[in-house]
Amino acid sequence: MKIIKLISAVSIVLALAACAHPLTINPDVSKIGLSTTSQPINKNVGYYIPDAMRSKEVTTPGGGGDKITYSPYRDIELAFYKMLSSTFSSVTKLNAKNDKDAIEKNKIDYVITPDLLTNSSSSSALTWPPTQFSVDMTCDVSDANGNLLFSKKAVGEGHAEFSEFRKDFALAGKRATEDVLVKMQRTLLDTQELRQ
C-alpha cells in the first residue's frame, strides 16, 4: 500500500513539474509609440506575418522545473502595428508578402517582416512564472517588388521579481516585448536608407 501511495505521489509531482503554463506576453500598447523628438519616416509600409507564425505556440522554461507557453507573434502584433504607425506615415497589414493589389492600392514603399526568437528562465525553484525573459526581433525590410534591402535587429530584455509578478505572471515577458519594440523603433528611425 505504501508503495502505491509513493508511486502516486511521484507521478503527481512529475506531472506538475512537466506542465506548461499558458501566458500572454502582449505589452502595454499605451507605452509603445514615438517617445523621441525624431520625425516619423515619410514612407508607407506594409507588414506581413504569416498565419502559421501568428498561431505558432512557443514553449520556454519557467521556474521550479515548469515551462510556459505563449504565441509571440499573436501577442505582439497589435503593439508591433502601433510601433510601425508611430514610425512611418502609414501602415497596412498584408495578407501575403507579395500582395500586389494592396501594395499598389496603399502605395507601399517597404514591406517589413518580423522574425521573433524568445527565451525565458527563472531564478526561483518554488514559483513557475519566469523572472527573466528575452525577445530577439529581426525585421526584414523589402522593397515593393519583394527584394530584400536589409535586416535590422533589436533585443529586448524583461525582468520581474516575485513581489511584482504575483498579480501578472507574464510581467517579465511583457516587459521584454515592450523593450524590443521601443528599441526596434529607435533602430528604424535611425536608418537613413528608409528616409531616401
With b for 16 or more beta-carbon neighbours within 10 A and e for fewer, the 65-87 pattern comes to ebbbebbbbbbbbebbbbbbbbb
CATH classification code of 20-195: 3.40.50.10610
**What length does the chain have?**
196
CA distance 77 to 82: 9
In the structure grid, which three cell numbers stand for residue 15, read together? 506531472
Select from 83, 81, 175, 168 the least CA-distant residue to 120.
175
pLDDT digit string, tens, across residues 7-44:
444 344 444 445 799 999 999 999 898 666 688 999 99
Predicted model pTM: 0.88
Distance of CA 54 to the CA centre of its chain: 11
Q: What is the predicted pLDDT for the residue at 127?
A: 87
Give percent of the chain above pLDDT 70: 89
The residue written with cell numbers 515548469 in the block is 66
pLDDT digit string, tens, across residues 74-125:
999 999 999 999 999 999 999 999 999 999 999 999 999 999 999 999 988 8
* Cβ pair 169, 23 in contact under 8 A: yes
Neighbours of 11 (CB within 10 A): 10
Q: Amino acid identity of 84?
A: L
Select from 81, 55, 179, 33 the least CA-distant residue to 171.
179
Q: What is the predicted pLDDT for the residue at 57?
A: 97
Neighbouring-strand partners of residue 185 = none
With b for 16 or more beta-carbon neighbours within 10 A and e for fewer, the 91-128 pattern comes to bbebeebebeebbeebebbbbbbbebebebebeeeebb
